[in-house]
Amino acid sequence: MMRRDHHDWEDPAVFERRREQMHTPLGAYPTQEMARTCDRTASPFVRSLNGIWRFHLAPSPLSVPGEFWRSEFNDRGWEDIPVPSNWQLQPGCPDKPIYTNVVYPFQPNPPFVPEANPTGCYRRAFTIPREWAGREVFLVFESVDSAFYAWVNGHLAGYSQDSRLSAEFNITGFLREGDNALAVQVMRYCDGTYLEDQDYWQMSGIQRDVYLYAKPKAHIRDFVVRTRFDAAYADAELEVNVFLSNVQHIMRDDAAFAKVAPAHQHWAPEFSRYAAEIMLYDADGGQVLAAPARASFDESTRMYGSSGERKGAARFRLPVSRPRQWSDETPYLYTLVMTLRGENGAVLDVESCRVGFRQIEIRDRQVLVNGRRMIVRGVDRHEWHPDRGRAVTDDDMRRDIIAMKRLNFNAVRTSHYPNHPRWYELCDELGLYVVDEANIETHGVGGDLSSDPAWLNAYMARATRMVLRDRNHACVCFWSLGNESGAGSHHAAMAAWIRRTDPTRPVQYESGYPGPDITDILVPMYPRIEWVRTVMEDARETRPMIMCEYSYAKGNASGNVAKYWELVEQYQSFQGGFIWDWADKAVRITLPDGRRVPGYGNDCGEQFDYETCGEDGTMVANGVVGADLDPHPGAFEIKYAQAPVTFRPHDLAAGAIRLKNHYAFRTLGHLALRWSMLEDGRVIDAGSLPAPDVQPGTSAVVEMPVKIPQHGAPGAAYHLNIDAVLGADEPWAPAGHVIAWEQFKLPVPSAVAAPRPVSCAKQSIKRGNGDITVAGDGWRVAWSERDGLLHTWQTPAGELLAQPIAAIFHRAPTDNDSMLGRPGSYYDEWRTAGVYDLRRDVEAMDSGILASGAAVVRVRTRLFGANSAQPIVNEQEFRVDSNGVITVDSTAAIPSFFATIPRVGLRCDLRAGIDKVKWYGRGPWENYPDRHAAARIGTYEAPVSAMLEHYLCPGECGGRTGTRWLELRGKGVPGLRVEGDIPFQFNALHVTPEDLRGARHVWELQPRQETTVIVDGYH
């Protein structure tokens, strides 16, 4: 049997070489004043290596250009590439992005990966400032996918795996004056790929920042900050541990390192010669401590675990009187400055960080933040930009957080890997609770690796390094052990280490039904409502529940969200959850005509057989918002359901409303109330007033200064709209931003509307030429006796119809209807039943004149699907008065053969030129029977072209429920008005259901001149 050569990238025991131990990100500040900015990029001892690098793509790590890592290598024939970036998104790159949900992009055989393993070779030059002389210099890669080697001036600086955590190398001994050469070899696949099987695009490259920083030989190597409150959550203790390092190189005995590692004199400090000093500042720059606190270093204290380095710790325990608390609602941050002083008191090194006084605990089966019940209004988020892929910028991250906050999200899960270090700083600043998730998912091989001893250290490294990097952030409230990797002994080991190292936060994990040894919280995916009730009422279960994924937001989705929030109100231990997921992960692609459009899996020219592998490339399109952060209509239903303020009727006749404050810490004094009164959807009165100072968790009655009519106009309905808006600017939204809203129908008595006047003119009714025709003064309508359909509607302005009016029982499937094309889906059920190919058979048809003088046409039709013995029976009665107004009664008897039916309605395709729609019903955004609570009744109008929702994958869309009347008009063409005895749903689009069902992408749809109108009695 041929023996396979050993490679680091195929050995789970080798995931680092010469890599520094993880620590919190460091700023290397020269002064306390600069450190107070907490801006690491401003330090003169930090230098970015982002920018344009030289790049060559090799088909395999075994075929890279020979010794390209040497300083003298000539890279003149190479391409340029921006760093950070993913090489698959660079113009003309032959290696393509691949999307997978479950399977690996190759046949799994852990720990081996294919020999066809695209490998990026990078090079760039850099210089070291003179001011850095005598300092230790570190090279940091914040994220490289998936495994890489780095060389400096031909010396191997190190090797690293884990594509979502930083890798840091001490390169002091490799540097020279003048230009230095940096070379990097990045493998697309490595054994670590088996631990990174996330539902996501598979891409590669140096995808986060690269930089150098320099420290004095004796320097602050790490620090840990914790805060604890007293029993009353009033006063607090600030615990700070500052670690001093001797920064010795990690020398190895193996031959590979002996060849490249220069001799280096170890330097060991005398800990007694150094002291640490700390000062805490408030957000206005004022000193919180009366004087700087000082402490010496304790040589016996280890930073963490055993290592080749000796590190002493200076430990502080300081009382802080009544600090302002940090929470998602009030993310108040202090600034901690830590100074290392030498024997003579000189400043040697300064570090800093923002500090939020925040305490997480589990008590009485509840997760508490600062002693109060935590409510998680969360969303799962991948790092993504449609043009830059995983290489997100500071602006991208800030825009994400602002958009989340504006939709009433207060928490985010970093699914399924640690995020950019800047993400946590922004969440601290703007106020988001964070579930920090380890970069572990083995979905494609189940839990096979999660108890395999060969992989234990790789698992442990990913969890421990995440904690060591991110533990100083107030926003991080939970540690997650990864995603969809079964439940094995490695998870128990990770959980045990985390609990011992950081007892201030719970540990969570979902996959494999883990017990308390693994997860402190129940974090199910997509639980059913009744299952949640059962668990909540089970006295044997002592853990709280927060859903790690729910309300799958793919396409036209997010129905029934409110049902989960009813449970949050009912059960104190059911504390919310995270919606899957934040944004569509569309890749912007270029069409042959030059258009730039959003694409999904199988759109990028990738050589990957999605169908054979059982993968659905459209699963990237499951965001609450689009790839450009435009909210999908379901986002408004989510925002409404999880609003921190709710309204209930108290005495509507007097305009009295009960407000409930669902904030945990804020009163409602920061809000204002805007109100308006509507008559048949039109605003007839409006005003505003300050919100009362309702305390958290309580409610109060507010009387709105609205003059409610004693008697309404005949047939009119009256509604009261209320908005709770920001009274002043917040960092994430301006004053006037709507936080919550509600609508109440007012009890205004109204006389019955007068009947529509009937013209004295007479209409005729006749049969001939296969039609039944009813005609009057300037108008004519006709039904075909062959198929029973109304096919002609002549008005003084011309023909109204482009196609006959017909009953319709199908719709284009939504993404969730099709369940990724799986058998047993609703869409599969409808196709099997023949809903899309119903055969019409006119069973009976008659006509006449009623006593009222109206003409009547009755049609009884049978519609046959796949079971000819059980047709749908549709009975329609059309009454035509002398004005040409048609009243339609349509009933359908659905046999049991059709287990479900997507809709029962009438379809009317109108002639070209109709381009405006106006309606009195729910709006303004798209809404459906299971997703309409946020859409208020009103009078709205829009271009027909605006009624198409731009879901990446076309399907049923554009619906509006609760409609009383509907008007469609155009310039110089006949219009149509539809009224209902009961509220109805409608769609009005320039595309047909067949167009929506047949297109793979929304940009493939070609708008028609005609308008397809569907009026549903059931949907």
Tell me which of 351, 429, 484, 606 is the catalytic residue: 484
pLDDT at 524 over 80: yes
Fold exhibited by the domain 219-245+261-355: Immunoglobulin-like (2.60.40)
Task: Evaluate the CA torsion angle 502, 506, 508, 514 in order and state its sign.
Answer: positive
Confidence of residue 758 (pLDDT cuts 50, 70, 90): low
**9: which residues sit within 8 A by CB, 6+ positions away?**
61, 113, 117, 147, 161, 187, 189, 190, 191, 192
3-class state of residue 496 by DSSP:
helix
In the block, tokens 């890798």 appear at 167
The two beta strands, 210-215 and 179-187, are unpaired
Tell me which of 196, 429, 437, 549 is the catalytic residue: 549
pLDDT at 1006 over 60: yes
Instruction: Say if residues 69 and 126 touch (Cβ distance below 8 Å).
Output: no
Cα separation, 505 vs 978, whole angstroms? 58
DSSP H helices, 813-904, are: 815-818, 826-833
Output the pLDDT for position 247.
43
Query: How many Cβ atoms from other residues are within 10 Å of residue 87's Cβ?
Result: 26
For residue 100, give the H/E element and its range: strand 98-100
Cα separation, 921 vs 925, whole angstroms? 11
Please name the CATH architecture into which domain 360-583+621-637 falls.
Alpha-Beta Barrel (3.20)
Output the pLDDT for position 259.
36
Output the pLDDT for position 265.
43
Cα separation, 935 vs 751, whole angstroms? 27
The two beta strands, 671-679 and 718-726, are antiparallel
pLDDT at 757 over 90: no
pLDDT at 652 over 50: yes
Q: Do domains 643-745 and 903-1019 have the same CATH topology?
A: no
What does the pLDDT look like over 355-382, one tens digit per residue? 999 999 999 999 999 999 999 999 999 9
Q: What is the dihedral of CA 362, 363, 368, 372, to 10 degrees?
A: 180
What does the pLDDT look like over 712-726, one tens digit per residue? 999 999 999 999 999
Confidence of residue 309 (pLDDT cuts 50, 70, 90): very low
pLDDT at 206 over 60: yes
Q: Which CATH code of 3.40.800.10, 2.40.10.120, 2.60.40.10, 3.30.360.10 fits the domain covering 643-745?
A: 2.60.40.10
What are the boundaries of each domain within the chain?
8-215, 219-245+261-355, 360-583+621-637, 587-620, 643-745, 755-799+837-901, 903-1019
Across the range 982-1010, mean pLDDT stands at 97
- Closest alpha carbon to 985 in 1006, 966, 1008: 966
CATH number of 903-1019: 2.70.98.10
Please name the CATH architecture into which domain 8-215 falls.
Sandwich (2.60)
- Closest alpha carbon to 153 in 67, 232, 273: 67
Q: Which CATH class is domain 755-799+837-901?
A: mainly beta
What does the pLDDT look like over 214-261, one tens digit per residue? 999 999 999 999 999 999 999 999 999 999 986 443 333 333 333 333
pLDDT at 821 over 90: no
- Closest alpha carbon to 909 in 1019, 798, 1003, 790: 790
Across the range 762-778, mean pLDDT stands at 92
Mean pLDDT of the chain: 94
- Closest alpha carbon to 35 in 46, 43, 44: 43
Active-site residue 549, yes or no? yes
Active-site residue 730, yes or no? no
